[in-house]
């Protein structure tokens, strides 16, 4: 134990002799780990956010598909579905999009029926008549209105429709409501000039959750032009959206991983003349090959562990304290209304261990192998280069 501590003491003084080179190596290594860590933390936190909130999403949504595209569904379909055993309720839903050409933002317009329930994350209230609306924080921030102000939208006939803002969703719900404009269903139908016999889709509630998949198949069989989407599938979408193989991971993670591979490859393909000379001297003064390898092991561990700890701490601070400013532009794309959100600091320990394993072990191996090659060579030959 004491022997290993003395070897570590020697390793640290050896590293300090080349402090600028090693510090820059740690900086690059830590930056690579911070990038990978940031992507992992951000995607996992978003996944937790999505799966946490969307567990209350509709159990089954029925869309109509015409010519390969989502089409309006006849409300007659609701009657057919309602007759199936196991169906609790079928509710036609009206929703759609609205593009504002001034700030080039897309809004999502949702129609609700008369709800008396008080929403915790809504400042004010949901629309109680067709002349009222509730808006998301992103819409409020983009156009600057407050509760009581009027929101003027151009309907499908290009005539202006005025809605009084009765509520604004709180910032905590930004990830769900940022671009929403909630209107009464009748008002939205008029706004979109949507026929009473049509709806955007149907929400189906079932008595037994385990029957959802079977009921989806039955609906598809009875109404072949429909497309049933279950809640489990929605949740699965968000799990695949933010997992290891997600586009986010591919876009940033792979680039960082390649940078790390170049770093490790550079280390593996050879050690500097100075390092070779050091190994030669150690061998010449009587150090065993195993002791030289111990020095190199400690050297690799000190650099990789320091970089990993610094990188992971930097990633945590970047994502959960500063809200990932380096990665947000990637998520934002061309979205004008992008939600400002504070992520819950959820970390997947499995991902953290995998990251540690994938970055520390290869670096250690890459440090030891070239050193071993030099250590087994004749010291005189090594020192002469």
Among 141, 313, 369, 383, binds other proteins (CB under 8 A): 313
How far apart are the C-alpha atoms of 189 and 185, rounded to whole Å? 6
Q: Does 354 bind other proteins (CB under 8 A)?
A: no
- Smallest gap from residue 41 Cβ to other proteins (A): 9
Among 141, 153, 176, 383, binds other proteins (CB under 8 A): 176
Tell me, what DSSP letter sits at residue 117? P
Cβ neighbourhood burial of 170 (10 Å; 0-12, 13-18, 19+): middle
How far apart are the C-alpha atoms of 242 and 248, rounded to whole Å? 7
3-state secondary structure of 278: helix
How far apart are the C-alpha atoms of 291 and 288, rounded to whole Å? 5
Count of residues engaged in binding other proteins, rule: CB under 8 A: 93
Q: Does 247 bind other proteins (CB under 8 A)?
A: yes
Using alpha carbons, list the distances in angstroms from residue 215 to 84, 85, 87. Answer: 8, 9, 8
Q: Does 115 bind other proteins (CB under 8 A)?
A: yes
How far apart are the C-alpha atoms of 114 and 132, rounded to whole Å? 12
How far apart are the C-alpha atoms of 338 and 67, rounded to whole Å? 32
Among 68, 85, 144, 286, binds other proteins (CB under 8 A): 68
- Smallest gap from residue 101 Cβ to other proteins (A): 15
- 280-299: which residues touch other proteins (CB under 8 A)? none
Residue 381, token pair as written in the block: 């030959």
Q: For other proteins, which is the closer residue by CB, 310 or 326?
A: 310
- 30-59: which residues touch other proteins (CB under 8 A)? 46, 48-50, 52-58
Q: Does 356 bind other proteins (CB under 8 A)?
A: no
Q: Does 227 bind other proteins (CB under 8 A)?
A: yes
Q: For other proteins, which is the closer residue by CB, 306 or 377?
A: 306
How far apart are the C-alpha atoms of 219 and 204, rounded to whole Å? 11
How far apart are the C-alpha atoms of 295 and 358, rounded to whole Å? 22
Cβ neighbourhood burial of 73 (10 Å; 0-12, 13-18, 19+): buried
CB 211 within 8 A of CB 85: no
Stretch that binds other proteins, among 82-90, 115-123, 276-284, 364-372 (CB under 8 A): 115-123
Stretch that binds other proteins, among 159-167, 311-319, 357-365, 377-385 (CB under 8 A): 311-319
Q: Does 85 bind other proteins (CB under 8 A)?
A: no
Q: Does 228 bind other proteins (CB under 8 A)?
A: yes
Pair type for strands 105-112 and 180-184: parallel
Q: Does 69 bind other proteins (CB under 8 A)?
A: yes
User: Can you list the pairs that 242-245 forms with residues at least 24 positions away whose Cβ atoms lie under 8 Å?
Assistant: 242/43, 242/44, 242/46, 242/47, 242/50, 243/43, 243/47, 244/351
Among 38, 177, 212, 367, binds other proteins (CB under 8 A): 177
Spatial neighbors of 345 by CB under 8 A, at least 6 apart, are 41, 45, 316, 319, 320
How far apart are the C-alpha atoms of 41 and 320, rounded to whole Å? 8
Among 86, 197, 270, 345, binds other proteins (CB under 8 A): 345
CB 147 within 8 A of CB 180: no
- Smallest gap from residue 304 Cβ to other proteins (A): 12
Q: Does 122 bind other proteins (CB under 8 A)?
A: yes
Among 20, 117, 157, 159, binds other proteins (CB under 8 A): 117
Among 268, 310, 326, 369, binds other proteins (CB under 8 A): 310
- 179-218: which residues touch other proteins (CB under 8 A)? 179-180, 182, 201, 203, 216
Q: Does 326 bind other proteins (CB under 8 A)?
A: no
Among 131, 161, 306, 351, binds other proteins (CB under 8 A): 306
Q: Does 270 bind other proteins (CB under 8 A)?
A: no
3-state secondary structure of 339: coil
- Smallest gap from residue 167 Cβ to other proteins (A): 12
């Amino acid at each position: 134990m004491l022997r290993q501590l003395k070897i570590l003491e020697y390793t640290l003084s050896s590293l300090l002799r080349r402090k600028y080179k090693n510090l820059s190596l740690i900086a690059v290594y830590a930056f690579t780990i911070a990038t990978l860590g940031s992507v992992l933390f951000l995607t996992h936190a978003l996944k937790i956010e999505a799966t946490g909130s969307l567990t209350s999403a509709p159990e089954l949504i029925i869309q109509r598909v015409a010519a390969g595209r989502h089409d309006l569904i006849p409300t007659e379909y609701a009657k057919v579905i309602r007759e199936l055993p196991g169906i609790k309720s079928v509710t036609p839903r009206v929703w759609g999009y609205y593009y504002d050409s001034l700030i080039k933002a897309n809004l999502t317009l949702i129609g609700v029926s008369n709800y008396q329930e008080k929403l915790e994350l809504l400042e004010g209230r949901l629309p109680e008549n067709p002349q009222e609306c509730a808006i998301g924080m992103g819409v409020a921030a983009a156009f600057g209105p407050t509760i009581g102000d009027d929101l003027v939208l151009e309907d499908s006939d290009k005539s202006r429709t005025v809605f009084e803002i009765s509520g604004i969703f709180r910032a905590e719900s930004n990830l769900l409501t940022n671009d929403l404009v909630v209107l009464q269903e009748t008002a939205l139908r008029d706004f979109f000039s949507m026929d009473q016999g049509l709806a955007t889709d149907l929400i189906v509630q079932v008595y037994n959750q385990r029957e959802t998949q079977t009921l989806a198949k039955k609906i598809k069989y009875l109404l072949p032009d429909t497309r049933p989407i279950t809640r489990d599938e929605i949740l699965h979408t968000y799990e695949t959206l933010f997992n290891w193989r997600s586009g986010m991971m591919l876009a940033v993670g792979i680039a960082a991983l390649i940078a790390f591979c170049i770093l490790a490859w550079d280390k593996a393909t050879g050690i500097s003349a100075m390092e070779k000379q050091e190994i030669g001297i150690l061998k010449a003064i009587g150090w065993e090959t195993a002791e030289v390898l111990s020095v190199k092991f400690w050297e690799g561990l000190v650099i990789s562990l320091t970089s990993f700890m610094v990188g992971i701490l930097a990633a945590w601070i970047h994502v959960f304290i500063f809200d990932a400013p380096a990665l947000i532009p990637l998520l934002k794309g061309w979205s004008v209304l992008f939600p400002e959100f504070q992520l819950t600091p959820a970390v997947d320990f499995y991902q953290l261990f995998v990251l540690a394993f994938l970055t520390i072990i290869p670096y250690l191996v890459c440090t030891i192998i070239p050193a071993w090659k030099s250590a087994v060579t004749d010291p005189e030959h090594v020192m002469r280069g």
